[in-house]
Amino acid sequence: MTLAPAPEQPDALRPTPVRDGGQFTGDSGVVMTTVNRAVGWARANSIWPMLFGLACCAIEMMAMSAVKFDLARFGAEVFRSSPRQSDLMIVAGRLSKKMAPVLRQLYDQMPEPKWVLSMGACASCSGVYNNYALVQGVDRIVPVDVYVPGCPPRPESVIDGIIKLQAKIENDRQFGKKDERAPVFAGA
Amino acid sequence: MVMLSEHRTESGTMILNMGPQHPSTHGVLRLLIELDGETVLNCMPDVGFLHTGIEKTMEARNYHQAIVLTDRTDYLSPPSNNLSYILSCEKLFGVEKEIPERAQIVRVIFCELARIASHLIWLGTHALDLGATTVFMYCWREREKILSIYETVSGVRMMTSYFRIGGLAADVPDDVADMVEGVVKDMPRRIDDYETLLTKNPIFLDRTQGVGVMSRENALKYGLTGPCLRGSGVPFDIRKVYPYSGYDAYDFDVPYSNEGDVYARYMVRMREMRESVRIVSQAAKRLRETKGAPVKIDNPRVIFPKREKIHRSMESLIHHFKLVSEGPVPPAGEAYAAIESPRGEQATYVFSDGSNKPHRVRFRAPGWFNLQALPNMINDGLVADVVACIGSIDIVLGEIDR
Amino acid sequence: MGAAPGQSTPGTQTVPGQTPQVDTPPPQPEHPPYVQTLLDRFGEALSIPKWNFADGIPTVTVSPEQLRQVCLWLRDEASPRYDFLAELCGTHWPAREAPFEVTYIFHSLERHERVRLKCSTGGETPALPSIVDVWPAANWPEREIYDMFGVSFDGHPDLRRILMPNDWEGHPLRKDFPLGEEPVEFYRPPAGGPASSLPGSELDRPASSSAGYGAIAPPVVSEAAEAQRTRE
């Protein structure tokens, strides 16, 4: 069976499909989807990261939110200083053993659902500082969703990490609960 | 505000815990502030939340490998850290007088661009702390231009690690002179823009004038250096007093101010940026004149043999292998080399026991001494002035905690 | 040698371990007149160490008993006055009799001259007199030396750890403190997952039908990038 070609229609009138599997019906502009997908779509495009600058990577994180790279294009520019208002913790920099309890406390203060992006080599595995003072990777303290390598990573790398995280959030199957899945790797 | 808890003492004063995770402490600084109403009675900084063990790690690396570790101390101006470590090593190896002119010119350009970039971040965040959001965006725009120069030369945006013991890693690409001159041409107009936004802004004046006053005597007693000391009326600048990398060949002034308040430190840094632009413009001219000149010394003890020689001669190959695997070996001794970083006297003190690894490396971080004076600066001030004072010291916790 | 009994002068001993480079240290420059006045004033308490000071800053070794007097004299009576404490740091030389060496560098803003003092201590509980009341700038550096080397400073107003957590055991910058390196963990794909198709890898894991992990995939070229390339 062959379908007749759709009638010509200007692009502006076409309904925008919801990314990744949303169904749209004909030309009426009605979108049908599941609650899971709708919530995931909304969450993914309004990430509120927490200002958690530790070291050098924090400077690149600021550069990412500033003029040239402009994180606002991806709906994640509302940096919050309070963990209670944020859902993404960007661990930007090396984590010392003195700071580790603070990081865990801040993570516990964040409301569910929450995600962690480990930015840079030091946060992921302590980088060039394999020594007594640093926690050898923040994944020993908090569960990490996205690893971004680099020392420090370029802002584009971190943006790639955030896009990968958005895809992950969007595909979250369980409503209201964080999906337990393997972390993803971004950038480089 | 995160991690901000309050506790009342018996005398009715309040202990406020600010940090270590706070947007205005510029990193992971923790302050314990004792308040009577809105007046700060006492303030106790608590540092060490970013202690990285860099000094200990450098003892386990050879002299070449340790270069990359120095970048991450003062991460707002990595070339300055490189330079002070490299100068110290060059003194140990006894090659500090042989450094070619072109290498010195590039070092000066890098360090002065780092000063501008660092002051831009200071200006943006300091203004942001005091409520001026626009300046932040403008500052990052100009900083990206400087970072693109770094990237063209060294391949990395921030952590350049471009200087080597005995010169530079390689000569700079040809278009760098144009890029540097572009920044030089652009910057004075941009600094005018920032000054339009802040220098006579009544809100900014209220928040900075007469706030955080540091007298000349106190500044000296607490070992302040850099713009903090110059803001208190002492025109002390390592570039003039102990010139390194050929700074005595450049024409520039050392701005200073006698008031000693936050506004004085602001004015000193703004004028310093203009002086840096002057230095860079002279250096860029010399960079063009010395095109093609060598950028490394000809000393086999620290510099790898040329690539074509490695391919043809067995001795060169062995020599290269030894220099890479074991590293250069200086005589036993010690050397202290100070430079003027954006924050003050930044020095690296290298102790050698005659082996291929440093026996001890010590960073004399200007912020380490400057931050000590913070209680003296803000006592009897208002709690809102604390962030103004922190911003005006321009702390970088990476170099303080190391 | 004018050092007090029990105190060694840092420069007179060679450090064991690797043989030093054959280079002889450069001849020490004649110490400038202001160091001579310092030597004349304190005589027995001071000495000039024989050691390669590659930076050319004139250096004297001082006994711990005389440290405070020398600092006060430098600040108040010397000509020129040394009105600025530029550096204070510690070093650990385990082979020496007094293994903990503390270095002070003073600066004179009047004539821009520097002088370096060295003071060593050792024993079960190494201690030195504090100079915080002479130079408030010495506060944090002395705490850092206490934290990192375990040298206590008598008379310090607030001597406690500064960089490490309060409950930390040991002093990290001592030579007998290990660097604390951890072996690097390499990622191993879980059993039952896709196996590598590289030759020899089937010996490690049961082979799987999927083409796999470790194989090098051809680069994915998007249409837009291809169009961009052909346009150029």
Q: Is C137's CB within 8 Å of B351's CB?
A: no
* Tokens at C40, concatenated: 């004349």
Chain B CB contacts of A53 under 8 Å are 27
Cβ distance of C21 and B222 shorter than 8 Å: no
* Higher pLDDT among residues C76 and B277, named by residue: B277
**Contact present, A137 and A123 (Cβ < 8 Å):** yes
pLDDT at residue number C11: 40
Say whether A136 and C182 touch across the interface (CB within 8 A).
yes
Nearest to C122 by CA among C5, C6, C4: C6
DSSP assignment string, C116-161: EEEEEE-SSS-EEE--TTT-GGGHHHHHHHHHHH--EEET-TT-S-
pLDDT at position C5 is: 39
Q: Is B355 near chain C, with CB under 8 Å?
A: yes
Cβ <8 Å between A99 and B52:
no
**Is the pLDDT reported for residue C53 higher than 80?**
yes
What secondary structure, in 3-state letters, does A90-141 show?
EEECCCECCCHHHHHHHHHHCCCCCEEEEEHHHHHHCCCCCCCCECCCHHHC
Contacts with C, A 79-98, CB within 8 Å: 97-98
- What confidence score (pLDDT) does residue B115 get? 93
Residue C209 confidence (pLDDT) above 80? no
Which chain B residues contact residue C157 at CB under 8 A?
Answer: none
Preceding peptide of B173 cis, ω within 30°:
no
Considering only CB atoms, which chain B residues are within 8 Å of A81? 1-2, 22-23
pLDDT for res C9: 40
Contact state of C184 with A125 under an 8 Å Cβ cutoff? yes
Interface of C with A (CB under 8 A): 163-165, 172, 177-182, 184
Q: Are C112 and B241 in contact (CB < 8 Å)? A: yes
Phi then psi for residue C121, to 5 deg, are -150, 165
Q: Tell me what pLDDT residue C146 has.
A: 92
Is the sign of the CA dihedral A57, A61, A62, A66 positive or negative? positive
C-alpha distance from A125 to closest chain C C-alpha (Å): 9
Contact A48, A85 (CB under 8 A): yes
CB contact under 8 A, B21 and A154: no
CA distance linking residue A89 with residue A144, whole number of Å: 9
Smallest Cα–Cα separation from B352: which of C170, C25, C56? C25
Per-residue pLDDT of A73-96, as tens digits, reads: 888 888 888 889 998 999 988 899
Contacts of C14 (CB under 8 A, 6+ apart): B332, C20
How far does Cα B172 stand from its chain's mean position?
22
Cross-chain residue pair C15–B56, CB shorter than 8 Å: no
Using alpha carbons, select from A161, A186, A166, A184 the residue that is nearest to residue A20: A166
Kindly report which listed range (B129-143, C4-18, C74-88) carries the lowest average pLDDT score: C4-18
Residue A182 contacts C where some CB pair is shorter than 8 Å:
no
Helix (H) or strand (E) holding B40: strand B39-46
In the prediction, which pLDDT does C3 show?
Answer: 37
- CB–CB of C179 and A97 under 8 A? no
Does residue C217 surpass a pLDDT of 70? no
Helix axes B101-129, B384-393, angle to 10 degrees: 170
Say whether pLDDT at C4 is over 80. Answer: no
Which residues are registered as beta bridge partners of A32?
A23
pTM for the predicted model, two decimal places: 0.84
Contact (CB<8Å) B359/C91: yes
User: pLDDT tens for residues A21-40?
Assistant: 545 555 566 777 778 788 88
Q: In A, which residues are within 8 Å of C165 by CB distance?
A: 97-98
Residues 266-305 (B) with a CB less than 8 A from some CB of C: none
Q: What pLDDT sits at residue C56?
A: 84
Q: SS3 sequence, B80-135?
A: HHHHHHHHHHHHHHCCCCCCCHHHHHHHHHHHHHHHHHHHHHHHHHHHHHCCCHHH
Which residues is B349 bridged to in the sheet?
B336, B362
Spans of chain B, pLDDT less than 50: 1-4
CA dihedral B293, B299, B302, B308 (to 10 degrees): 70
Q: Do B332 and C21 touch (CB under 8 A)?
A: yes
Q: What angle do CA C170, C171, C175 make, to 5 degrees?
A: 110
The DSSP 8-state label assigned to residue C113 in this structure reads E
Closest to C70 (Cα-Cα) out of C101, C40, C92: C40
Q: Which of A175, B308, B92 is nearest to C53 (CA)?
A: B92
In chain A, what residues touch B76 (CB-CB under 8 Å)? 59
Predicted local confidence at residue A16, as pLDDT: 52
Interchain CB contacts (distance < 8 Å): B and C: 121
Task: Select from B55, B242, B349 the Cβ nearest to the Cβ of C87.
Answer: B349
B27 vs A58: CB contact, 8 Å cut-off? yes
Q: Is the CB of C21 less than 8 angstroms away from the CB of B47?
A: no
Q: C112, B48: Cβ pair inside 8 Å?
A: no
SS3 of residue B45 by DSSP: strand
B49, closest residue in chain C (CA to CA): C163
Return the bridge partners of B32, or none. Answer: B17, B44
- A128 in contact with chain C, both atoms CB, cutoff 8 A: no
- Nearest beta carbon to residue A98 from set B1, B48, B72: B48
Nearest Cα residue in chain C from B348: C87
> Using a CB-CB distance cutoff of 8 angstroms, which residues of chain A are in contact with residue B140?
62-63, 66-68
Q: Say if A73 is an interface residue toward chain C (CB within 8 Å).
A: no
DSSP for B330-399, written as a single string:
PPSEEEEEEEEETTEEEEEEEEE-SSSS-SEEEEE-HHHHHHHTHHHHHTTSBTHHHHHHHHHHT--HHH
In terms of DSSP H, where are the helices of chain C?
Answer: 33-42, 67-76, 139-149, 223-231
Tell me if B326 sits within 8 A of B356, measured CB to CB.
yes
Q: Considering only the beta carbons, identify the residue of C165, C180, C184 that sits closest to A131.
A: C180
Contact B49 A96 (CB under 8 A): yes
CB B144 within 8 A of CB A64: no
CA C163 to chain A, closest CA, distance in angstroms equals 9
Q: Dump pLDDT digits (tens) for A112-154.
A: 888 899 998 989 888 888 888 898 888 888 989 899 988 889 9
Q: Is the dihedral of CA B309, B315, B316, B321 positive or negative?
A: positive
The ipTM value here is: 0.88
Nearest-CA distance B298 → chain A (Å): 30
Q: Which residues from B are below 8 Å from C19, CB to CB?
A: 354
What radius of gyration, in Å, describes the C-alpha atoms of chain B?
Answer: 22
Give the integer Cα–Cα distance in Å for B288 and B274: 22
B194 interfaces chain C, CB cutoff of 8 Å? no
Q: In chain C, whose CA is at the least distance from the CA of A98? A: C165
Interface with B, mutate which of A52, A57, A82, A98 (most B CBs under 10 A): A98
Contact A62 B2 (CB under 8 A): no
Q: How many CB atoms lie within 10 A of CB C208?
A: 15
**Distance of residue B182 Cα from the nearest chain A Cα, in angstroms:** 18
User: Which other chains touch chain C, taking contact as 3+ CB pairs less than 8 Å apart?
Assistant: A, B
Distance CA A39, CA B309 (A): 65
Q: Which two tokens stand for residue C96?
A: 């020496």
Which chain A residues are Cβ-neighbours of B400 within 8 angstroms?
Answer: none
